[in-house]
């Protein structure tokens, strides 16, 4: 049985990228005879300027979307990161394994610290160290596979490096995890800036499709997506035609086709965009309907999270205790 772990941080409304890159893969993984844990990684939302009330609201919404997307709490463990103390306990020990230089090389740190500096906010220390907390999230469960989108690959590799280094120095303690990426749409791009990732924390960007956007809003965003100049018709070329390639990737992810083969079915951008819009609306419709039902009963979602945290704690505690003993700390 393969142990799987992944998470989403409540830093904004979830996007089509979060659905295709993460949630949908998780639901597929859950159908296998695997042991899977999925987590709202709320502590990671505190690394940048945030409004506490908004983090609370988004944390509930993300958990509700886990269930609405089809994750079944009878088959997997769903929980809130901050409800399981083992994550922060392990994070400190891993900080004693990681180096400053390694942290400063993280692409997300470079991008987000530049943004924080430009806005005059100052860079929180946690922004530098959060990949270590993410490594702790993963390693605390003897995780073997981490299903994520392409943007998280570097962080999972850090978790691997820390696990290997710790095991070499202090004896075998951690399972070394590996990253798993979706076959299509591992990196859904912004519809207005197709060379940038579709991200949830940038606000209400016109190039970002949110999972809970109304069908009319989704259609408008897709129909206004930038396409590329050039008269080569509809071709799949990520380098030269990133806007069109992104639309084809999304269509392929929604319909199960191959992006290059789909390109051959279109002679103009209008028809392609209409089909993409229809496919995205239909993909998200059942998730949105289920979300509306679940959001009406927040106590039921809280119960799932409470039970999930209990199960997660029981799995993580022996692993973290093992790491504490291995690194030289006495048993209490």
Q: Does 200 interact with ligand AQP (rule: CB under 6 A)? A: yes
Residue 304 CA, distance from chain mean position: 20
Cβ(10)–Cβ(42) under 8 Å?
yes
Residue tagged active-site, from 197, 221, 273, 303: 197
Q: Which of 175, 180, 201, 288 binds ligand AQP (CB under 6 A)?
A: 201
Instruction: Let me know if 197 is a catalytic residue.
Output: yes
> What are the helix (H) ranges across the chain?
16-18, 24-31, 52-68, 86-95, 100-104, 107-118, 125-139, 153-170, 215-223, 242-255, 259-263, 269-295, 298-327
Question: Is 8:151 a contact under the CB 8 Å cutoff?
Answer: no
Q: If binding is defined by CB under 6 A, does position 197 make contact with ligand AQP? A: yes
**Least distance (Å) between residue 39 CB and ligand AQP:** 10
Q: Work out how close the CB of 194 gets to ligand AQP at its nearest, in angstroms, rounded to a whole number.
A: 11
Q: 3-class secondary structure for 147-182?
A: ECCHHHHHHHHHHHHHHHHHHHHHCCCCCCCEEECC
Q: Among this protein's residues, is 178 annotated catalytic?
A: no
Q: What tokens appear for 235 in the block?
A: 């071709």
The yes-or-no answer on residue 200 being catalytic is yes
Give least dist CB 151 to ligand AQP, A. 5
Binding segment (CB under 6 A) for ligand AQP, from list 3-11, 28-36, 170-178, 246-254: 3-11
CA distance 143 to 178: 8
177 binds ligand AQP (CB under 6 A): no
Identify which of residues 200 and 291 has a Cβ nearer to ligand AQP in the complex. Answer: 200
Closest to 17 in 3D by CA, of 246, 279, 274: 246
Residue numbers annotated as active site: 112, 197, 200
- Which residues of the chain form contacts with ligand AQP (CB under 6 A)? 8-9, 11-12, 17-18, 20-22, 148-149, 151-152, 186-188, 197-201
Binding residue numbers for ATP: 9-11, 17-18, 149-151, 188, 197-201
């Amino acid at each position: 049985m393969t142990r799987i772990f992944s998470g989403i941080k409540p830093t904004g409304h979830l996007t089509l990228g979060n659905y295709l890159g993460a949630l949908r893969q998780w639901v597929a993984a859950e159908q296998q005879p695997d042991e899977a844990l999925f987590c709202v990684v709320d502590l990671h939302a505190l690394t940048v300027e945030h409004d506490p009330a908004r983090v609370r609201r988004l944390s509930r919404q993300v958990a509700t979307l886990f269930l609405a997307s089809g994750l079944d709490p009878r088959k997997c463990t769903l929980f809130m990161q901050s409800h399981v103390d083992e994550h922060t306990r392990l994070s400190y020990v891993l900080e004693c394994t990681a180096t400053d230089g390694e942290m400063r090389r993280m692409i997300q740190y470079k991008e987000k610290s530049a943004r924080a500096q430009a806005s005059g906010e100052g860079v929180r220390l946690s922004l530098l160290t959060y990949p270590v907390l993410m490594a702790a999230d993963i390693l605390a469960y003897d995780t073997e596979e981490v299903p994520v989108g392409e943007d998280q690959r570097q962080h999972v590799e850090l978790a691997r490096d820390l696990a290997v280094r710790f095991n070499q120095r202090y004896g075998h303690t951690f399972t070394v995890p590996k990253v798993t990426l979706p076959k299509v749409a591992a990196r859904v791009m912004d519809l207005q800036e197709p060379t940038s990732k579709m991200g949830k924390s940038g606000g209400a960007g016109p190039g970002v499709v949110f999972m809970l956007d109304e069908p009319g809003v989704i259609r408008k965003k897709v129909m206004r997506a930038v396409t590329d100049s050039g008269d080569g018709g509809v071709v799949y070329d990520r380098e030269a035609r990133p806007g069109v390639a992104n639309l084809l990737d999304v269509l392929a992810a929604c319909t199960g086709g191959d992006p290059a083969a789909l390109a051959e079915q279109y002679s103009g951008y209008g028809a392609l965009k209409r089909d993409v819009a229809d496919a995205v609306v239909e993909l998200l419709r059942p998730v949105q309907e289920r979300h509306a039902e679940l959001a009406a009963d927040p106590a039921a979602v809280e119960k799932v999270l409470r039970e999930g945290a209990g199960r997660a704690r029981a799995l993580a505690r022996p692993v973290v205790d093992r790491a504490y003993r291995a690194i030289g700390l006495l048993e209490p």
